[in-house]
Chains A and B, each alone.
Chain A
Amino acid sequence: MKKIRVLIAKLGLNGHDRGAKVVARALRDAGMEVIYTGLHQTPEQVMETAIQEDVDVIGISLLSGAHMTLFPMVQKLLKEHRIDNIMIIGGGIIPEEDSFKLKQAGIAEIFGPGTNTKDIVNFILSKVKK
Chain B
Amino acid sequence: MATLNDLKISEIKLSESEGGKWGMVIDQDICTGCQACVAACAMENNISFVGEVDAGYGRSMHWIRIERFWEGEYPEVKMTPNQPMMCQQCGAAPCEPVCPAFATVHSLAEKVNLQVYNRCVGTRYCANNCPYQVRSFNWRDYERPEPLPNQLNPDVTVRRRGIMEKCTFCIQRIHHAQDQAKAEGREVMDGEFTTACAQVCPANAITFGRMDDPQSLVSQLAKRRGGMKMHEDLGTLPVVTYFKGG
Q: Does chain A bind chain B?
A: no
